Amino acid sequence: MQALCYQGVNRVGVETVPDPELLGPHDAILRVTMSSVCGSDLHLLDGYVPTMRHGDIIGHEFIGEVIEVATEVKKIRPGMRVVVDSIIGCGHCFFCQSEQYSLCDNTNPEPEFTDKLYGYPTAGIYGYSHAFGGFAGSHATYVRVPFADTNAFEVPEGLPDERVLFASDALPTGYMGADLCNIQPGDVVAVWGCGGVGQMAILSAYLLGAERVIAIDRFPERLAMARDRAGAEILDYEQVDVREALREMTGGRGPDACIDCVGMEAHGTGIDYAYDRVKQAVRLETDRPTVLRQAILACRKGGTVSIMGVYGGFVDKFPMGAAMNKGLTLKMGQQHGQRYIPRLLEHIRKGELDPSYLITHRARLADGQQAYDTFKEKRDGCMRVVFTPEA
Amino acid sequence: MHSKTPRLDDIHGIPARARKMNPLNVGPNERVVSAALGGGLVAWGIWRRGALGLLAGAVGGALVHRGVRGYCPAYAAFGISSRKAPKPTPMPLLETEKLTRIERTVTVARPAAEVYAFLRDPSHVPHFAPHVEGVEDLGEGRIRVWTVLNGERSSWEAHIDLDHEARAIVLGHAEGPPERLAILLGDAPGGRGTEIRLVLELSKTRGLLLRALAAVAGADPDAWAHAGLRRLKMLLEAGEIVTAGVWGHHPARPGGAPDRQPTGSPPAGSSP
Ligand SMILES: NC(=O)c1ccc[n+]([C@@H]2O[C@H](COP(=O)([O-])OP(=O)(O)OC[C@H]3O[C@@H](n4cnc5c(N)ncnc54)[C@H](O)[C@@H]3O)[C@@H](O)[C@H]2O)c1
Ligand SMILES: [Zn+2]
Ligand SMILES: [Zn+2]
């Protein structure tokens, strides 16, 4: 089959690879009908996540048709259209049982790396480096889905792929970001980053009862989408002092909750940004916490900072004093999508959520390099590029 | 100085012979009470004399016996026990034996009885223990373990000691230094399942067990133990050992154990 593979820092290309096979008794094989780029891929491609190897198939946000299931798969049947969570759960360990699927004990076949770096290994993720299991990604004609009954969800009849695709990753991530904020009536929520994840966080915060959502980014098209499609008030961090603006917009209180939907490669304007770039370039720190620092300082006393943007290693100048003395609650994690997907599909079915506006570009796998370049540079109003893999 | 091999019994503080003959079924507190009460009855019987004294002496004697031995035939007849399986405590290590001890623990979200039943079936071992191809039950508490490394097959013989009550499995061997491989099960708190502890006591002077392990573990028994427990947990919880497979132009995962699903047929002569 054809697959889009990592070929070095910011280099991808289509390769012909063997078709996936059923390897475990709970596996399913899908024919991928749509597979999206995600901000997380950029961290991999930019070389900030080690353990990527030449030839690794990338992609983790996908939807497809089941063509084959192994003996122990009960719920998922061939012919079903399913959306699959980007992070793999086994469904049976302590963490899966408590709906913290991304912490699964049993789905990372290469746990040594995260065991050392994080203290304990975390779950496997499709196309997301060998530290996260070395699973083949979804930018391919076919993809193998382990523990299909836990990780694949049947698409309700009548819903097109476009509306459901992001229930794989961006939507549950944004939803979890808002869910972790424990939103109360009257709450003002600030969301950093208006990419796919940020957009979904805005919509979700409203669904969960936020009074107002303020979205922060610098790309005009993205800010416009946050305003027009998701209903947020918007701030361009290149035009205003974000902390000042947030304080003024919230009657001097500060946002009740802040959601970081940017992560380790935040862009910035000040001297601290230059400092982080240099330190990251020489690997004295691995992640640039520009947004994280800002969110902690901007958040009201006793508020919640929810971190959905991905961090991989170490950050510098973390404002621990502010977090501690203001009594903040910090919540974070890779998404536990399996917990949310059923209710999200229900919202989509009822027309209460429609993430399909994230699709600004479509491409063939063969145009993968160009697609990722456009996405990385946010050229041409690009929000998300969706591949329709060729047979 | 005369040194004694630490035995499984020392781990749990159970007198060996008593357990071998009859399993313990009286809890520690009850044993003290039983022995004390029995002692009192015997003393009273001696003082009282006569038929009643004789009876008191007999009953008291039985109670003392029950307390000291920790075995109650009446309990056994009704299949009850007032004794909880003890929590495994660290094994004493005798300096003079020049043993290296490696301990690894994993928690599995399954009940201890189920874990124990799975582990005591030798045919399950190759499914999770890296490089172990088969385990042959030779009877009378002896087994033969077949290992395969780089296509080369070898085997070694060991004693196996199963303690159903304490849910412990201990391997050792007759000749050479007193090396052991023990699997001890304990309940994890709050219904979190079972804590499985793997203890390896290996002779620094290269006893048989270490040599066998070195052969299969690439001289890194700790990594072997770690990988084995992880695979065991996957098998018990998720019902399979997950693999990313071999795809693209990756040869196979580097360094680690080759991914092997439990399909290999055991060597000829091994128990099914
Ligand atoms: N936790 C999870 O499970 C999970 C899942 C998916 C994605 N993610 C992470 O979420 C983050 C966003 O993903 P995405 O797909 O939306 O990425 P994206 O690249 O499309 O969007 C990131 C946005 O952040 C903006 N940004 C950069 N610096 C900023 C700053 N200082 N202030 C405000 N905005 C800033 C960028 O302009 C961009 O619009 C990534 O870190 C990704 O890895 C996490
Ligand atoms: Zn993603
Ligand atoms: Zn799990």
Is A133 within 8 Å of B244 when comparing Cβ atoms?
Answer: yes
Chain A environment of B241 (Cβ under 8 Å): 24
Tell me the three state secondary structure of residue A310: coil
In 3-state terms chain B splits into helix, strand, coil percentages (rounded to 5) of 40, 20, 40
Tell me which of 3.90.180.10, 1.10.287.3510, 3.30.70.2740, 3.30.420.40 is the CATH number of domain A2-169+335-387: 3.90.180.10
pLDDT in tens, B126-179: 999 988 899 999 988 888 888 887 788 888 888 888 888 889 999 887 666 678
Q: Is A390 on the interface with B (CB under 8 A)?
A: no
CB B14 within 8 A of CB B24: yes
Residue B270 has pLDDT above 60, yes or no: no
Domain B99-238 has CATH 3.30.530.20: yes
Q: How many whole angstroms separate alpha carbon B130 and alpha carbon A380?
A: 53
Chain-centre distance for alpha carbon B207: 20
- Within 8 A by CB and 6+ apart from A144, the residues are A20, A21, A22, A23, A27, A28, A29, A30, A135, A136, B245
Q: How many whole angstroms separate alpha carbon B191 and alpha carbon B112?
A: 11
pLDDT in tens, A16-43: 999 999 999 999 999 999 999 999 999 9
Q: How many whole angstroms separate alpha carbon A105 and alpha carbon A99?
A: 12
Is B245 within 8 Å of A21 when comparing Cβ atoms?
Answer: yes
Which residues of A, range 41-100, sit inside 8 Å of B by Cβ? 53, 55-57, 72, 88, 90-94, 97
pLDDT in tens, A291-318: 999 999 999 999 999 999 999 988 989 9
Tell me the three state secondary structure of residue A32: strand
Q: How many whole angstroms separate alpha carbon A187 and alpha carbon A1?
A: 49
Is A105 within 8 Å of B244 when comparing Cβ atoms?
Answer: no
- Tally of helices (H runs) and strands (E runs) in chain A: 14, 17
State which H helix or E strand residue A145 sits in: strand A142-145
Q: Looking at the CA of A355, name the nearest ligand.
A: 1
Q: How many whole angstroms separate alpha carbon A55 and alpha carbon A6?
A: 5
Which residue is associated with the tokens 């055991």? B266
Residue closest via CA to ligand 1's atom 10 equals A309
Q: Kindly list the domain boundaries of chain A, sorted by start residue.
A: 2-169+335-387, 171-332
CB A299 within 8 A of CB A328: yes
Chain-centre distance for alpha carbon A64: 19
Q: What ipTM was assigned to the predicted interfaces of this complex?
A: 0.90
Residue A339 has pLDDT above 70, yes or no: yes
Mean pLDDT of B194-205: 85
pLDDT score of B216: 59
Task: DSSP letter for A166, please.
Answer: G
Nearest to A1 by CA among A157, A95, A136: A136
Which residue is associated with the tokens 């191809």? B133
Tell me the three state secondary structure of residue A115: helix
Strands A12-16 and B132-139, by their bridges, are unpaired
In 3-state terms chain A splits into helix, strand, coil percentages (rounded to 5) of 35, 20, 45
Which of B242, B243, B250, B253 should one mutate to test binding to chain A, selecting the residue with the greatest count of A CBs within 10 A? B242
CB A5 within 8 A of CB A58: yes
Q: How many whole angstroms separate alpha carbon A139 and alpha carbon A60?
A: 8
CB A76 within 8 A of CB A82: yes
Higher pLDDT, B225 or B258: B225
Tell me the three state secondary structure of residue B198: strand
Mean pLDDT of B220-243: 92
Chain-centre distance for alpha carbon A110: 21
Angle at B74 (CA atoms; ends B69, B79), nearest 5 degrees:
100
Residue B90 has pLDDT above 90, yes or no: no
CB B262 within 8 A of CB B127: yes
Residue A165 has pLDDT above 90, yes or no: yes
Both structure tokens of A66: 């089941």
- To the nearest 10 degrees (0 to 180), the angle between helices A271-281 and A290-298 is 140
Q: How many whole angstroms separate alpha carbon B128 and alpha carbon B133?
A: 10
pLDDT in tens, A37-79: 999 999 999 988 779 999 999 999 999 999 999 999 999 999 9
pLDDT score of B5: 34
Which residues of A, range 104-133, sit inside 8 Å of B by Cβ? 105-112, 124, 130, 133
Q: Calculate what percentage of chain A has a pLDDT beyond 70.
A: 100
Poorest-pLDDT segment among A52-66, A156-170, A245-259, B38-52:
B38-52
Q: Rg (Cα) of chain B, in Å, rounded?
A: 23
Chain A environment of B256 (Cβ under 8 Å): 110, 112
pTM of the model: 0.82
Residue closest via CA to ligand 1's atom 24 equals A193
Mean pLDDT of A185-200: 98
pLDDT score of A98: 97
**pLDDT-based confidence at residue A125 (cuts at 50, 70, 90):** very high
CB A123 within 8 A of CB A98: no
Strands (E), A321-383: 329-332, 359-363
- Within 8 A by CB and 6+ apart from A73, the residues are A25, A26, A27, A28, A148, A149
Residue B112 has pLDDT above 60, yes or no: yes
Q: Please report, as a single letter, which amino acid is at residue B149.
A: L
Closest ligand 1 atom to residue A266 Cα is: 28
Buried b (16+ CB within 10 A) or exposed e, B9-26: bebbebeeeebeeebbbb
Q: How many whole angstroms separate alpha carbon A67 and alpha carbon A77?
A: 8
Higher pLDDT, B251 or A212: A212
Tell me the three state secondary structure of residue A183: coil
Q: Looking at the CA of A151, name the nearest ligand.
A: 3
Q: Looking at the CA of A26, name the nearest ligand.
A: 3
Higher pLDDT, A234 or B212: A234
- In words, the CATH class of domain A171-332 is alpha beta
Q: Rg (Cα) of chain A, in Å, rounded?
A: 20
